[in-house]
Amino acid sequence: MLETIRNFPRTCEETLKQKIKLPKEYHNANKIVISGMGGSAIAGDIIEDWLSDKLKIPIFVCRSYELPAFVDEKTLLICVSYSGNTKETLEQVKAGIKRKCKLVGISSNGELIKIFRRKKLPFAQIKGGILPRVAISYLLFSLISVLRALDFVKLDKITISCNPEEDAKVIARKIKGTFPVIYSIYPSVARRFKTQLNENSKVLARWEAIPEAAHNDIEGFVNLDEKFSLIFLRDEPAEREEIKKLIEFFKNSGKNATIIEIFAKGRTKLERILYLIWFTDFVSYFLAVENKVNPEETPSIKRFKKFVYGK
Burial of 183 (0-12, 13-18, 19+ CB in 10 A): buried
- Given pLDDT bands bounded at 50, 70 and 90, which one contains residue 186? very high
- Given pLDDT bands bounded at 50, 70 and 90, which one contains residue 137? very high
Q: How many CB atoms lie within 10 A of CB 125?
A: 16
Summarize pLDDT for 12-49 with one digit per residue, the tens. Answer: 999 999 999 999 999 999 999 999 998 889 999 999 99
pLDDT at 132 over 90: no
Residue 205: closest CA among 230, 231, 173, 180: 180
Domains 2-149 and 165-291 share a fold: yes
> What integer is the mean pLDDT of 260-280?
97
Whether cis (ω within 30° of 0) applies to the bond prior to 58 is: no
- Given pLDDT bands bounded at 50, 70 and 90, which one contains residue 85? very high
Summarize pLDDT for 223-248 with one digit per residue, the tens. Answer: 899 999 999 999 999 999 999 999 99
What's the Rg (C-alpha) of the chain?
A: 20
pLDDT at 125 over 90: yes
For residue 70, the model assigns a pLDDT of 97
> What integer is the mean pLDDT of 187-208?
97
Residue 44: closest CA among 188, 178, 174: 188
pLDDT at 309 over 90: no
> What is the average pLDDT score of the chain?
95
Buried b (16+ CB within 10 A) or exposed e, 185-224: bbbbbbbbbbbbbbbbbbbebebbbbeebbeebeeebeeb
In the CATH scheme, what is the code of domain 165-291?
3.40.50.10490
Sheet arrangement for strand 206-209 = 206-209, 179-184, 228-234, 258-263
For residue 131, the model assigns a pLDDT of 87
In the CATH scheme, what is the code of domain 2-149?
3.40.50.10490
How many residues does the structure list for the chain?
Answer: 311
Is the CB of residue 110 less than 8 Å from the CB of residue 89? no
Report the alpha-carbon distance of residue 255 to residue 229 in Å, rounded: 10
Burial of 88 (0-12, 13-18, 19+ CB in 10 A): middle
Domain boundaries, the chain: 2-149, 165-291
Phi-psi region of 263 (alpha: psi -120 to 50; beta: other; left: phi over 0): beta
For residue 38, the model assigns a pLDDT of 87
Report the alpha-carbon distance of residue 123 to residue 278 in Å, rounded: 26
pLDDT at 311 over 80: no
